[in-house]
Structure 1
Amino acid sequence: MEPEAFTGFLATAGWAKFAARSYWLLWPFIYLFARFIKLPTYLNAPLRLCEKSATSQDAGPSTETLTDSGTKWPLAIFSHGLAGGRFTYSDYCGRLASQGVVVIALEHRDGSGPFVIPIDEDTGKPIPKLYLQTEEINWEEKPAGKLPLRVDQLKFRIREIYEAFESFKDIVRGHQGDTTSLDTFSHWDSFKDQVDYSKVLLTGHSFGGATSLSLLSNPPPEGCTQLPVEKVVLLDPWMDPLPLPGTLPIAYEARPPLLIMNSEGFTLWKEHFTVLEQVVADWRKSGGDECASLVTIVRSQHHYYSDFGAFVPFGKTRALGLLVLDTAHKLTMAYIRGSLSSELKGKRSMEVEPIPGKDKYAMSPKFDPNDPAVAELISQFQSIGLSSSKATEAARGAKSAASLKELIKELIQAHGLESKGLDEKQGTLVASLATQGAKLGATEKSYIVNAIVDHRLKSGEQLAAAVKYLSTHHPPIDDVEFDKECGVGIELSLGDIAQRVNTYITSKAPAGWPALSGAIGDLKSTDLRWATPLDVKNAVEKAFTDLFGTKEEAKAKAAKEAKKPADTAAAASTSKGEPTPASSAAPERVVFEEGFLKALHKPGGNPQINPKLREQHLKTTGGHVFTRFPPEPNGFLHIGHSKAIFVNFGYAAYHNGKCYLRYDDTNPEAEEAIYFESILETVRWLGYEPYKITYSSDYFQELYDLAVKLIQVDGAYICHCTAEEIKANRGGEERGPRKACVHRTRPISESLAEFENMKNGKYKPGEAILRMKQDLEDGNPQMWDLIAYRTLHAPHHRTGAKWCIYPTYDFTHCLVDSFENISHSLCTTEFILSRVSYEWLCDMVEVYKPRQSEYGRLNLQGTIMSKRKLLKLVTQGHVGGWDDPRLYTLVALRRRGVPPGAILSFVGNLGVSTATTNIELAKFEQTVRQYLENTVPRLLMVLRPLKVTIENLADDYVHFIDKPLHPKVPSLGSSRIPFTKHVYIDAEDFRTEDSKDYFRLAPNKTVGLFQAPHPITCVSYKTDATGAVTELVCRLEDGSDGKPVPKPKAWIQWVAEHAPSGSPVVIDETRIFHSLFKSDNPAATDDFLADINPHSLDVIKGAMVEVGFWPLAKRCMSDALRESRERTEKALKEESVGEGVGSGAAGHNDTPMPTAEQLVGNEVVRFQGLRVAYFALDKEARVGCFAEPDSATPGRREGDKLVLNRIVSLKEDAGKKAV
């Protein structure tokens, strides 16, 4: 007996490459475990002759083989899966061999295995090599049947199977020769005429299963005859690589019998299992039910069909892996012998069903009305008024007939329901109560049953409301409140429903059929929730039809209207002097009325370990929504935080609630005053005022007291383990078995004393910690005895040197939420696992337990969000600071000029769900562009000025033009600009050589000037010594020469030279920002600094803007200051901030306060440079007239410096590159 090659360098290196891991990290694991694995196989052994006894010991562990004396051995061909090879299915293939099946186990060379052994073309010798390339296995997620590279692999694999079969036939016919891996094999004669290759068992696992199906679905490769497949056994086939259609054996006149063994994991992969079921159904169409069988081995996983399931030499995984292999072998042999039905006799028929409320599926026993437990349940349902069909339907919906039977029996006996004469509707409600109210106490169940019997509860909606109400309200039950919450006594006729629907539509004025689902959702939150849902739906659809026409008519009308703006825009671009406007900003979605946020519980709807805690909470909050935004003051907020601010402040505001701004200041080493100020400033800039500003440090004493209480109830202990020891006890890198810390069982009194020692400074950092005593057997890492307190000898910005122990986030967060009576603790999904420990801790110390709900975070492609990486960008000088406009910190976006309303519109339009949102930068910029479109004025601007002299105008000619600052928004006002002999246009609007597809200025060509009285024609141009154009000489086409005025095909922007009116306004610097990184995901690169775009900033000097800039800038700044002062005064007057816990508490006066200056900066001066881009004034700009009274005439002052930042580009004009 020889050991298997599991421990060879080649296999280990191959798997390391396949798993994208270091060989040196994987090798010790392989060495420790795989070196003990041996195969019960003779290397290079001859084939046993059929004439020998079929019970010879040489046959292996089984004494029964598939051949008798004088016959030939059957043949099987096995195709391996991804990361597999001929060595990784030794158990399955070896057992087949021991039963008398000759198995051709291929080593596919398509790149799907860890290594291959090709033949060197020069020497003819085998050369083992790692064949797999990383780019060949990192597949992007694609729909089923659409993996083209996998299809290429399938073709390659099928060819290999045919060639292997043909080669083996030659051996059986008597061929003798060399092989690629058996250096000493010399028993060729043992195969001659001993194997029956006229009938083949085709089998494979995973990708090998797909290979087998693909082989059956296609004709043989060129030059090959069809493989004589007699039977097919597929082990957990992976269907995704198969092109659609491609699962039917079109190459075979009669489908060979098929057995599919599925793992439980692949069965619960619903989309995949559906495809597999269709394969079986199609197979049976021609061959009957017996032609194809689909079996799931319960508790099996995908890799259990290979040797990997038994790879670990001990433990549950190995036991299950061996059990699955044993079952797979038994079923295969029974199938080959034709006794599969007998082998499956007594096995359960299962159904795959969705788990309510989750995007997951589970297997449950298939419904059988003849099952004794089910039959008794049906009988019980009939005894409470259900008809035979309804009783059967109710039993079918039950997850467990046995458990439900006892619940129904309990209700029937406790209330004598058999003698109550219940009608079918009442019986259905009682049956529903047995499942929905299974966790209710006997008193609560009895109350609901009585309400059903006396007809107070009449519908499923009312029953659900009753169960929900009594889940949080315990006896004595308030009848009046119960009736109100459950809609008791509300009777709504069709007329009543129609009246309420019409009232809603009149008040809300929905825009059309797209608002249908929102309208139905809104109406269901009124007393119409107690009406029949179908009646409500029909009433709303009728009202919409009366208002907007049928759905089909509305769609046709919308399509027609959508075409009009496109036609109009096309005409405008060729016939008017005004550029085509961008699309208007889309209306912001009311995200708080839909999806995730709409489904959140009402205040008080979160269960408590003690009902009194709920009552105290509601008494304190008055039943209002209370949320919090709890940032750590160790960095500047970024675009991702805007979603958290929007969700927490916005949800509270929408429900007339309150939102705290709480600084989570439990790490004094990382906190700086600048971050506290910046966070408040950013929150206010986005439009929100905190209810109160608080700090986690305000509650240090309360937190300490609860830590003591947690120790007293045996929920915490002092631990002296190192970080490495803690990690090892939690299973280490290998995620092995977990074990308790040696300090976990120390006496409570000892932990109390040691905690006091920690508080008194006896221990250095790392020498002692307080850990929560949770549940090490829980699969959730957040229950593995988290750290509650650690020692840290660092002064705190608020408490000074009072504390040398500080609570962790896991200990602080939930308790401070409790102290502040937060009704909705809203956070991102990376904290889902923390919800269990969050609730555990609140219950252990018996405090009010807020409900944590998680939504998906917001990510922008092409950006960096990590504080550590942002810090490196700043400190190493790659950017100009945390507010560099190329970054996506909120202070940087503000400096760039992005309006806060655009950010909120962006977040709101994305919606809020549990899915992480990964958005392209282009979508963010488009939202900003749409927001600015109708909210900022438009000024004439030339980025790279080129002087134009109009030869037929007098030197002192001047014509003043009153132009609107926005053609569609009159309220933005107008400006008065001069038109003179000398004007400037953008250098990009002139070419020395004309072309047919070019419509702007060129020699002898006419172009219009926006808002100017007449077009101009280029007569000549001047150049400098380098040939660069320095000036154009043009003619004003005013008709004074008696010739017809030529009609221009394009209009361009311009700025006049007129010193008396201060025109043009020269811009010292115009900064054009591009993406800071070259890739879409710089965070995923090995060196994100190497991904920096060296051309991310262009600085243009000497741009020109019309003279209307000065009054516009002055007005923008004055209006912003006035609004800011009014808002700040109102906030302070209403005591929105500045009072209560956390605001000056405990003698502290360092809490940042709201000021008008926080909301106003140079960035409030925004405008669109016509045909250029959107711009804002940078913070480095100096504008003297801002400090002057409003009565002073605005204009340039000595020492002024104008610096503009491009906020976002415009859409590209035809033939003109966007700036």
Structure 2
Amino acid sequence: MDPSQYLPEGYSPSKKEQATLNFIAKKAPRSIERFLPLLVSSMIDYNLSQKQITAGLHHLVDFYQKERKYEMTEEEKESYHKSMGIGIEYSDLEISIAVDKVLEENMEQLLERRYFAPSAFYMSLVSALLPWVDTKKTLAIIEEKMAQILGPKTEADLKPPAKTKKPKKEKVKKEKKVKDNEEEKESEFKEVDLEKLWTSVPQYNRYEQRPEIMEEHERVTGGKVFTRFPPEPNGFLHIGHSKAMFLNFGYARRVGGKTYLRFDDTNPSVEKDDFVEGIKHDVKWLGHEPFNVTYTSDYFDRLYDCAIDLIKRDLAYVDDQQKVDVALFRKEKKNPPCRDKYSVEENLRLFEMMRTGCFPAGSFTLRLKIDMAHPNPNMRDPIAYRIQYYPHNRTGDKWCIYPSYDFSHCLIDAFEHISHSMCSIEFGSRRDSYDWLTHILPVYRPMQWEFSRLELEGAVMSKRHINTLVTAGVLCGYDDPRLMTIAGLRRRGFPADAINKFCVSVGITRAKQTTSKHVLEHVIRTHLDAHADRAFLVIDPIKVTLRNIEPSEVIPIMRPVHPKDKSKGEREINISKVIYIERDDWRDEDEPGYYRMAPGKTVCLRYGYPITVVDSVKDESGKVCEIICDVIRPDQKLKKKVKGFIHWVSEHDSKDCEVRLYTNLFKGDKPDPENLIASVNTGSKVVYHKSKADPAIIGAAETVNTAFQCERVGYFAIDDDSSKDHIVLNRTVTLKESKDKI
């Protein structure tokens, strides 16, 4: 919006006025764009400050929401002017009484600090009582009354008060407290953060309700907050939905309310029962329990009755414009030819013909008759119904007309008595039509409140884009661990509690923001560090033969299941004649500062014994394929202290497994949506088929999504493809933040 276009012809604004115009352009919502000429003329005529302009904006927004009109009577204009302080003058007596009240309430501070309690402080308190008081006049009265109370200024008053040093607190050494229950620590963290988190959500519904509707609302809800999570069953949920779920279910839970899981099933051409079941599973997995599961299709009959009512009141009409013409007429703010072409009776007849299948798909629509000249494009006669010849997965062939989002969403919120209709910020422009429908029909008026959606850099969450990647064979499905779908994250090994904790960490804001994936990675890593059992995994193994151990000999070693949780106890592993280490832990030549294996070097097996390299065997390509070592047992003396510790698995109790390492799906943080395939990072998935897993992992082979911290190599989870005979592990995150994004 550009308010400067409403300046009188040839008028040149001053610097102050230009700043005010910029302020209006930034702060004025689109819903009051038609009032901007009035606001700009008020600015010029009365030399308004930004404080007065802000008050005027608030008044205009309230006026429009209550009255739903753009013209003001003289009486309404007078009220508008008063809201900005125009015409309001306070007498000296009124100012004096207000100053006396403020000074009396703050007398103790005044007497203590004398003139170093600045008059500007008291001025702000007087302004709270008399919003449009003259500042210069009021400050003069304050100074005069302060002098009457304190007397003339002394030399002491001219000096700033002496600073008193606060006594130093004795440093007390904090003892490290080890909590037996790590989950208790997690719940405390969440509770503290949630208290700060929910303050931005409005506590009460801002709309006045009809008395009889409010009586029904109280009967249905029992005075409790009702929210809803309304996904479309045409795809899989992604991490952005996790924030919407967390907000809707979490807020209702916090205030003792209830949440519906409602499927917005108004487009049968792309909706499937599989998506419905997948969404239900995702909601439950993330820890949310719906009060009730409903569908938009449950209300098709009632929505149809509402459409008939609107046609009878000449607030809806049947239109034959095609999509291109609809967009053009909206852009030019022109009434469609059919808007006033048919009588109410004819519109009813045409709508009935739409319902009974007399017209081809897309040939006619039912549109709401609102205002084609409205500054908000969504108010320019939005479509309420369109023709689609697809059998619905719940209603079959009963309907061939289906309601639009703009028509159905707000009304079902009203039918279900939703007090807080929370949605992402891009739906803010639809609030006007949402409010118009619930105001014009005799239903409960829910309050729509918008929050910024959860967006991650370098992630694709569009169903269309994901489908492109799946169809091209880049991804193995909608649950590919490289995707930010809930199914993909679950398969990758992301814990549900950690995803909810991530939603807490990003907070609730109305400003658009893109979160770095490293933030998500950090939250997941922190959670897994506290909860995941430890295990050994050798991803790219190289054989180590311990020549001073007999083939039948095994040396039992005990290691902690979780070093930070002693209550989990210990697990036994064995050193045998043959063990395996990571190929990265071997170098053909030693060098200063290198503490792992090399010819003649001694390193220590994690939780086990030191071993010394005595020889190595190379294959035909000249690559080392076997290392020969001696074990140094406890009764033998070391020549010098060992600095290197490496992880390992034994041939005796390990098993081959498949390991899948994942990095960022795309080459950069902003993949090109028009050329997704070319943007894909070909190294985003690396598979090792002959990795070696230790007994802890083998024991969980068939327990999908079980998480382990595989020491020194990362956090891993059992993949859906795993079986008792074929273990598949997905790397969830690395142990430390790396340059590669997850």
* Partner of residue 351, structure 1: 49
Change in Cα spacing, 1:972 to 1:550, as seen in structure 2 (3 Å) is farther
C-alpha deviations, 1:1133-1155, integer Å up to 9, x for none? xxxxxxxxxxxxxxxxxxxxxxx
Does the 8 Å contact 1:266/1:272 carry over to 2? no
* Partner of residue 993, structure 1: 589
Match of 1:667 among 257, 264, 267: 267
Change in Cα spacing, 1:1108 to 1:359, as seen in structure 2 (3 Å) is farther
Percentage of matched positions with identical amino acids: 38
In the alignment, structure 1 residue 1065 sits paired with structure 2 residue 659: no
Match of 1:379 among 77, 87, 91: 91
Change in Cα spacing, 1:1044 to 1:1167, as seen in structure 2 (3 Å) is closer
CA drift of 1:1075 comes to 1.3
Q: Residues 430-445 of structure 1 correspond to what in structure 2 (within 5 A)?
A: none
In the alignment, structure 1 residue 757 sits paired with structure 2 residue 357: no
- Write the distance in 2 (CA, Å) between the matches of 1:786 and 1:680: 31
Amino acid at match of 1:1072: L
- Write the distance in 2 (CA, Å) between the matches of 1:724 and 1:940: 62
C-alpha deviations, 1:838-890, integer Å up to 9, x for none? 11101111210110100000111111111111111111211111111111111
- Write the distance in 2 (CA, Å) between the matches of 1:357 and 1:635: 45
Q: Residues 822-837 of structure 1 correspond to what in structure 2 (within 5 A)?
A: 822-837=418-433
* Partner of residue 240, structure 2: 640
Does the 8 Å contact 2:701/2:722 carry over to 1? no
In the alignment, structure 1 residue 1032 sits paired with structure 2 residue 627: yes
CA drift of 1:633 comes to 0.6
Amino acid at match of 1:999: Y
Amino acid at match of 1:1046: K
Change in Cα spacing, 1:843 to 1:1003, as seen in structure 2 (3 Å) is same
* Partner of residue 1102, structure 1: 690
CA drift of 1:693 comes to 1.0
Q: Residues 103-182 of structure 1 correspond to what in structure 2 (within 5 A)?
A: none
* Partner of residue 726, structure 2: 1201
CA drift of 1:355 comes to 6.4
Residue aligned with 2:556, SS: strand
In the alignment, structure 1 residue 694 sits paired with structure 2 residue 290: no
CA drift of 1:388 comes to 8.8
CA drift of 1:1066 comes to 1.7
Amino acid at match of 2:304: Y
Does the 8 Å contact 1:617/1:848 carry over to 2? yes
Amino acid at match of 2:90: I
CA drift of 1:665 comes to 0.5
Amino acid at match of 1:721: Q
Q: Residues 707-746 of structure 1 correspond to what in structure 2 (within 5 A)?
A: 707-731=307-331, 736-744=332-340, 746=342
- The CA RMSD measured in Å over matched residues stands at 4.1
C-alpha deviations, 1:883-909, integer Å up to 9, x for none? 111111111111111111111111111
- Write the distance in 1 (CA, Å) between the matches of 2:318 and 2:167: 68
- Write the distance in 2 (CA, Å) between the matches of 1:269 and 1:383: 33
Match of 2:531 among 904, 925, 935: 935
- Write the distance in 2 (CA, Å) between the matches of 1:811 and 1:551: 66
Change in Cα spacing, 1:629 to 1:754, as seen in structure 2 (3 Å) is same
Task: Choose 1101-1110 or 866-875, whichever is displaced more.
Answer: 1101-1110
Q: How many equivalent pairs are there?
A: 639
Match of 1:851 among 447, 455, 463: 447
In the alignment, structure 1 residue 1077 sits paired with structure 2 residue 666: yes
Change in Cα spacing, 1:946 to 1:773, as seen in structure 2 (3 Å) is same
C-alpha deviations, 1:786-840, integer Å up to 9, x for none? 0111122222111111112111110000111111111111100001111111111
In the alignment, structure 1 residue 588 sits paired with structure 2 residue 190: yes
Does the 8 Å contact 1:592/1:654 carry over to 2? no
Does the 8 Å contact 2:550/2:577 carry over to 1? yes
Does the 8 Å contact 1:950/1:982 carry over to 2? yes
Amino acid at match of 2:656: V
Change in Cα spacing, 1:941 to 1:842, as seen in structure 2 (3 Å) is same
Task: Choose 1102-1111 or 348-357, whichever is displaced more.
Answer: 348-357
Does the 8 Å contact 1:951/1:1033 carry over to 2? yes
CA drift of 1:766 comes to 2.6
* Partner of residue 417, structure 1: none
Structure with more relative contact order (C-alpha pairs < 8 Å, separation 6 or more): 2
- Write the distance in 2 (CA, Å) between the matches of 1:632 and 1:686: 18
- Write the distance in 1 (CA, Å) between the matches of 2:206 and 2:46: 39
Q: Residues 511-550 of structure 1 correspond to what in structure 2 (within 5 A)?
A: none
CA drift of 1:987 comes to 1.2
* Partner of residue 572, structure 1: none
Residue aligned with 2:91, SS: helix
- Write the distance in 1 (CA, Å) between the matches of 2:339 and 2:560: 77
C-alpha deviations, 1:954-981, integer Å up to 9, x for none? 3433221221111111243431111223
Please, what TM-score do these two structures have when normalized by structure 2? 0.78
C-alpha deviations, 1:766-795, integer Å up to 9, x for none? 332111111223211111110111122222
* Partner of residue 47, structure 1: none
Residue aligned with 1:1180, SS: coil
* Partner of residue 33, structure 1: none
Match of 1:1090 among 673, 678, 686: 678
In the alignment, structure 1 residue 1211 sits paired with structure 2 residue 736: yes
Amino acid at match of 1:1102: K
Amino acid at match of 1:697: S
In structure 2, stretches of 5+ residues that fail to align are 1-9, 29-33, 61-84, 104-124, 134-164, 178-184
Amino acid at match of 1:1071: R
Residue aligned with 1:587, SS: helix
Does the 8 Å contact 1:588/1:909 carry over to 2? no
CA drift of 1:376 comes to 6.5
Does the 8 Å contact 1:1016/1:1037 carry over to 2? yes
CA drift of 1:626 comes to 1.1
Amino acid at match of 1:1205: N
- Write the distance in 1 (CA, Å) between the matches of 2:556 and 2:368: 78
Does the 8 Å contact 2:613/2:629 carry over to 1? yes
Amino acid at match of 1:857: R
Change in Cα spacing, 1:357 to 1:695, as seen in structure 2 (3 Å) is farther
Residue aligned with 2:723, SS: coil
- Write the distance in 2 (CA, Å) between the matches of 1:271 and 1:658: 39
- Write the distance in 2 (CA, Å) between the matches of 1:618 and 1:551: 56
- Write the distance in 2 (CA, Å) between the matches of 1:843 and 1:433: 35
Does the 8 Å contact 1:703/1:812 carry over to 2? yes
Match of 1:1174 among 715, 720, 725: 715
* Partner of residue 77, structure 2: none
C-alpha deviations, 1:360-388, integer Å up to 9, x for none? 999xxxxxxxxxx9786313982995459
Residue aligned with 1:983, SS: strand
CA drift of 1:984 comes to 1.5
C-alpha deviations, 1:12-41, integer Å up to 9, x for none? xxxxxxxxxxxxxxxxxxxxxxxxxxxxxx
Q: Residues 1074-1153 of structure 1 correspond to what in structure 2 (within 5 A)?
A: 1074-1082=663-671, 1084-1112=672-700, 1117=703
C-alpha deviations, 1:296-353, integer Å up to 9, x for none? xxx9xxxxxxxxxxxxxxxx9xxx9xxx9xxxxxxxxxxxxxxxxxxxxx98644333
- Write the distance in 1 (CA, Å) between the matches of 2:686 and 2:224: 51
Q: Residues 913-1062 of structure 1 correspond to what in structure 2 (within 5 A)?
A: 913-1012=509-608, 1014-1038=609-633, 1040=635, 1043-1058=637-652
- Write the distance in 1 (CA, Å) between the matches of 2:355 and 2:132: 53
